[in-house]
Structure 1
């Protein structure tokens, strides 16, 4: 189906793998990915955090790589994009407070464009009212937020993903292979062997 123009919404302390892996994988298959952060311009960086599962009651957090933005948030026109990606980490908890972020996410939801969200990314979808009536998953601690936003929680293993129409969600980075494969399917991307 050709190259798609994909918007990726990030912020400081986005989860390292959840921004780096999809950004590079989507570029690799020929899509144009515009990574933006509210209040920042192309060429500026966001800090990332590495979240891991080490046997504690919740994930651990360590410093990750710096991630360089390749587009400016203030220049974004949601109507020009074919799809949206929202990585997890701590960024979603604060970028969802930005009215422009919610407006952008609302555009993708209303237009039924492909949306991929992982881990804490669905916090932004919940805040934008984009989960009502949708089956989805997220990091397990988000179950109450998903349900309170009108979403239908789907319990899956940490390496699995859920598709409901245009929406592709997963609980955490171990799901990257399935989450990205399902997102590429929703995008209509064909990969030749």
Structure 2
């Protein structure tokens, strides 16, 4: 396997598992992963939230860990990266308002580089306008945004993932084994 340089765009109240697990897993198999957040520098942290499915009409939310960023958002050159990871949680709802984030995301689609998004990460994809004619899974509450952006919502079990061209998506963190396996297959 050739080691890849992967960008992770995240922010405060990102979903804990959807940030920590791919960050650590991709490093464990030999990739370099740079986690960045607008207006924050390497060494600063973002707060995470733990979302769980406990039988309510939607997920519950609890405080998670502080996740340390390891690169400066303003200093990265998106062209230097081979792939992109977008975790879910609450961060995508405001990150999608940042034009620099959207431009970065568009780069990966224009260059046809691998992109992995999970859960509410689809909010950033839809805002970037990159979902036209793509199958995209997400947390079910994001279905309208996927469809309004011209994507085909993939209504799959919570522990499954779907690949559509350069894009790998999943509904939530229970899909990590399938989501990360499909993403890593694109990284080869």
Shorter-chain TM-score: what band?
A: over 0.9
Residue 154 of structure 1, CA deviation:
1.1
In structure 1, the partner of 2:57 is 57
3-state DSSP class of the match of 2:182?
helix
In structure 2, the partner of 1:23 is 23
Which residues in structure 2 correspond to 1:51-130 (within 5 Å)?
51-130=51-130
Structure 1 Cα separation of the partners of residues 3 and 93 of structure 2: 31
Structure 2 Cα separation of the partners of residues 28 and 137 of structure 1: 26
Structure 2 Cα separation of the partners of residues 122 and 113 of structure 1: 17
Which residues in structure 2 correspond to 1:25-40 (within 5 Å)?
25-40=25-40
5+ long unaligned stretches in structure 1 = 189-193
**2:95 pairs with 1:131:** no
In structure 1, the partner of 2:142 is 142
**2:166 pairs with 1:181:** no
In structure 1, the partner of 2:152 is 152
Residue 136 of structure 1, CA deviation:
1.1
Structure 1 Cα separation of the partners of residues 154 and 91 of structure 2: 23
Residue 76 of structure 1, CA deviation:
1.4
Residue 24 of structure 1, CA deviation:
0.2
In structure 2, the partner of 1:191 is none
Structure 1 Cα separation of the partners of residues 102 and 80 of structure 2: 17
Structure 2 Cα separation of the partners of residues 14 and 135 of structure 1: 23
Q: Structure 1 runs of 4+ off > 2 angstroms?
A: none
Structure 2 Cα separation of the partners of residues 156 and 186 of structure 1: 20
> What is the aligned-residue RMSD (CA, Å)?
0.5
